[in-house]
Chain A
Amino acid sequence: MRILKYLLAGIVFGIVMAKSEAISWYRIQEMFRFQSFHMYGIIGVAVTMGILGVFLIKKYKIRDYHGNPILFHPKDKSISRYLIGGTIFGMGWALSGACPGPMVVNIGFGFLTMSIVFIFAIIGTYLYGLLQSKLPH
């Protein structure tokens, strides 16, 4: 059961991403052309609820189910790594129409060619690891 809860959370995530069409290349195109509210609505509601919830967790010092405090680790300060890395990510997102989560949901859905995208995402991550010390951060 300890590990099974993550499987169930993943299943719910996969179903809702597929059923709200967030796994669709078309929806990502529509977003980057500003022609529908759909994707902005999904991300907007998630972030609004997220901001509210994180605020409440901090205010009331809510603990996780082990009894440990829920901590948020601030990311390293930088502009270049987030801007350059983010831009490269965005180009890939628009081209393949999927970020890492939706890639694997698509594979389960039956779009097996998305496996190629996913394998190359792993290779891309490996390339980053290789080049990390040479890149501006």
Chain B
Amino acid sequence: MTTLLTQSWSWWFSGLVISFIMFLLLFFGKTFGFSSNLRTICAACGAGDRVKFFNFNWKAQTWNLVFLLGAIVGGFIAGNFMNSGAPADISANTIQDLSKLGFNAPASMQPEEIFHIDSLMSLKGFLILSLGGLMVGFGSRYAGGCTSGHAISGLSNLQVPSLIAVIGFFIGGLVMTHVFFPWIF
């Protein structure tokens, strides 16, 4: 039983639970879309006074902020009570490709090369984390959604805009990985 909790969970179980959460939120009269929270946080910080895009009744989105809080708690529970400490179980080919870019084989869920506090203290490390976040935030609002809103909710409803957005996600991801990574790392 304990190993069942601490070992990593399979893709099909994860996929089932994610769709279950999407339906649960629909049943509650809401929609599954995580990046809306970023807009809500801007509005809650008073951005609506200067920028019209943030001038909306953000308090109606409180439920999604509570969901975000739950996601942090869920991460905490998984990291502290359900963690075998095993590294991310990625394929040998990926380990080999990443080693050519100067990455060691995984020692945990995330690469020290990017997420260690020392990386943050270097200019390059700081730029990687900050530009990565900036592009995710800017791009998700420009596209009107992120992985949850477009790839899961939108594709489930067979929406063409979501399919275009997901194609965009992959163009961007492939260009970053195969064109920019050899240049950055």
Seen from chain A, the residues whose Cβ lies within 8 Å of a Cβ on chain B are 3, 5-33, 35-39, 41-51, 53-54, 57, 64-66, 68, 70, 72, 74-79, 81-101, 103-114, 116-130, 132, 135
List chain A residues, Cβ under 8 A from B160.
77
Contacts A23-B109, A120-B129; A109 near B137 (Cβ below 8 A):
no
Contacts A64-B26, A89-B140, A89-B146; A35 near B91 (Cβ below 8 A):
yes
Please state if A88 and B10 are interface contacts (CB–CB under 8 Å). Answer: no
Residue in A9, A12, A17, A135 whose Cβ sees the most chain B Cβ within 10 Å: A9
List chain A residues, Cβ under 8 A from B73.
7, 10-11, 14, 108
Nearest residue (CB) in B for A73 is B31
Contacts A43-B152, A91-B176; A85 near B72 (Cβ below 8 A):
no
List chain A residues, Cβ under 8 A from B182.
none
Pull 14 A–B residue pairs with CB atoms less than 8 Å apart, ordered by A.
A10-B66, A45-B12, A47-B155, A70-B27, A86-B139, A89-B146, A90-B170, A93-B176, A94-B173, A99-B34, A104-B75, A120-B137, A128-B141, A129-B42
Please state if B109 and A15 are interface contacts (CB–CB under 8 Å). Answer: no
Say if the beta carbon of B94 comes within 8 Å of chain A. Answer: yes
Contacts A86-B171, A111-B110; A135 near B75 (Cβ below 8 A):
no
The one of A65, A75, A123 that contacts B27, using a Cβ cutoff of 8 Å: A65
List chain A residues, Cβ under 8 A from B140.
85, 89, 99-100, 121, 125
Chain B 128-154 interface 0/1 with A at a Cβ cutoff of 8 Å (1 = within): 111111111111111111111011111
B: number of interface residues (CB 8 Å): 124
List chain A residues, Cβ under 8 A from B158.
51, 54
Please state if A116 and B126 are interface contacts (CB–CB under 8 Å). Answer: yes
Please state if B82 and A86 are interface contacts (CB–CB under 8 Å). Answer: no
Please state if B78 and A19 are interface contacts (CB–CB under 8 Å). Answer: yes
Please report the C-alpha to C-alpha distance between residue A10 and residue B67 in the assembled complex, in whole angstroms.
4
Contacts A53-B19, A91-B176; A97 near B114 (Cβ below 8 A):
yes
The one of A9, A44, A64 that contacts B67, using a Cβ cutoff of 8 Å: A9
Chain B 25-41 interface 0/1 with A at a Cβ cutoff of 8 Å (1 = within): 11111000011011101
Please report the C-alpha to C-alpha distance between residue A74 and residue B71 in the assembled complex, in whole angstroms.
27
Chain B 112-123 interface 0/1 with A at a Cβ cutoff of 8 Å (1 = within): 001111011000
List chain B residues, Cβ under 8 A from A10.
66-74
Interface residues of B in 76-108 (CB under 8 A from A): 76-80, 82, 88-91, 93-94, 97-98, 106
List chain A residues, Cβ under 8 A from B135.
88-89, 91-92, 95, 124
Please state if A66 and B29 are interface contacts (CB–CB under 8 Å). Answer: yes
Please state if B51 and A15 are interface contacts (CB–CB under 8 Å). Answer: no
